Amino acid sequence: MVFKKLQRIIVDELGVEATEVTLDAHINDDLGADSLDAVELVMAIEDEFEIKVSDEVAQSFKTVGQIVKFIESKV
């Protein structure tokens, strides 16, 4: 459930295909997110899941799977 919501957010924010968004996908290398994209992605995640993501935590995200685990630990 979390992954599907996150996948939709990533597709909307980064303009990638849903098939590219896997748990192992690297946010920068595989999905092409730059620093501005990453900030917008975090804001969308905070809005969708009603959680707060600190800057330190946001900067530690490398893969989609890491983001899913973080969200699951907060909701």
The DSSP string of 30-48 is TT---HHHHHHHHHHHHHH
Structural domain boundaries of the chain? 2-74
Q: What is the pLDDT of residue 75?
A: 86
Question: Rounded to an integer, what distance in angstroms lies between the CA atom of residue 73 and that of residue 8?
Answer: 20
State the sign of the Cα–Cα–Cα–Cα dihedral 43, 48, 50, 52: negative
The pLDDT profile of the chain, 75 residues, written as one tens digit per residue, is 999 999 999 999 999 999 999 999 999 999 999 999 999 999 999 999 999 999 999 999 999 999 999 999 998
Q: Report the CATH fold assignment for 2-74.
A: 1.10.1200
Q: What is the pLDDT of residue 73?
A: 97
Residue numbers annotated as active site: 34
CB proximity list for 16: less than 8 A, separation 6 or greater: 10, 31, 32
Question: Rounded to an integer, what distance in angstroms lies between the CA atom of residue 25 and that of residue 47?
Answer: 22
